[in-house]
Amino acid sequence: MADPIPALFLSHGAPPLVDDELWVRQLGAWARDLPRPEAILVVSAHWESAPLTIGATSADVPLTYDFWGFPQRYYETTYDAPGAVDLAGRVESLLSLDGPVRRHPDRRLDHGAYVPLTVMYPDADIPVLQISMPTLDPRTLLRLGERLRPLRDEGVLIIGSGFTTHGLPFLDDWTPNATPPDWSVEFDAWAAERFAAGDADALIDFRHRAPGMPYAHPTIEHWAPLFVALGASADPGQAPRQVIDGYWMGLAKRSIQLV
């Protein structure tokens, strides 16, 4: 029997991150190193909805361009991956054990999902499904990831898409190569240490234990997808592979792969 496909937490960035040559190289190389998935399931920082909601399963539904003030070309991006009808049914059967699950057939991938996928799987030939985060509570999201864990044995790549630091209100320099603020460096260093130690408890309690708070995450939706990925891992206490590090606009883009 083949090993389960890994689960990922990745820092997805705003639409212009696709213009960062280093990040594109890193993310593309990462995808090539992964087993080819049968389907992809994404939990993005940009979709909170309770009860848990399953997005569109048809490629005919337009992408969700959930950003403002960018050049027009970013609103013309397409990603016509096949609809994941079978995966949607499987997700519904797994998650309905814990409460109601609804469908939103008109809500397709937002930029937290499709921006990294345009780099990782540019041919858009793998079925993709997005589900909402029904809460930002770390332990509830960990449980959600545990419910989804069997999908990994079925070839489904589970991606929690957020950002390791996301203190947008506290940025002074919005250029791609900006010097990262101290709060971003401190939180990122702490995250790297906790990942290396396999310290899921500390990661869950980041509000109280992580330096750089609350500046690194004045709101926590960009850290929350991590817990779905942790829950989907075979052992949340095992140190993940830290695949991408560094900064973009001073924000830490650390991204990990969980077994």
Q: Residue 132 phi/psi, 5° resolution? A: -85, 160
The average pLDDT across 71-88 equals 95
Can you tell me the distance from the alpha carbon of 77 to that of 95, in angstroms, rounded to the nearest whole number? Answer: 31
- What pLDDT is attached to residue 237? 82
Q: How far is it, in rounded angstroms, from Cα 179 to Cα 32? A: 30
On the question of pLDDT at 253 being above 90, the answer is yes
Confidence of residue 247 (pLDDT cuts 50, 70, 90): very high
Arithmetic mean of pLDDT, 160-169? 97
Confidence of residue 2 (pLDDT cuts 50, 70, 90): confident
What is the C-alpha to C-alpha distance for residues 221 and 218, in angstroms, rounded to an integer? 9
pLDDT band, very low/low/confident/very high, at 1 (cuts 50, 70, 90): low
The pLDDT of residue 156: 98
Tens digit of each residue's pLDDT (9 = 90 or more) over 102-152: 999 999 999 999 999 999 999 999 999 999 999 999 999 999 999 999 999
What are the two backbone dihedrals, phi and then psi, of residue 105, each rounded to the nearest 5 degrees? -70, -10
Q: Is the pLDDT score of 234 beyond 90?
A: no
How does 81-120 read in b/e, with b if 16+ C-beta sit within 10 Å? bebbeebbebbeebbeeeeebeebeebbbbbbbbbbbbbb
Q: Mean pLDDT for the chain?
A: 96
**β-strands 156-162, 7-11: how paired?**
parallel
127 close to 39: Cβ distance less than 8 angstroms: yes
**Structural domains of the chain, ranges and CATH numbers in brackets:** 7-258 (3.40.830.10)
* pLDDT band, very low/low/confident/very high, at 3 (cuts 50, 70, 90): confident
User: Cβ contacts of residue 142 below 8 Å, gap of 6+?
Assistant: 200, 204, 227, 228, 230, 231, 236
Q: How far is C-alpha 13 from the geometric centre of its chain's CA atoms?
A: 10
Mean pLDDT along residues 82-110: 95
7: enclosing H helix or E strand? strand 7-11
User: What tens digit of pLDDT does each residue of 181-231 get?
Assistant: 999 999 999 999 999 999 999 999 999 999 999 999 999 999 999 999 999
Angle at 143 between CA 151 and CA 257, to 5 degrees: 55
Query: Tokens representing 54?
Result: 């399953």
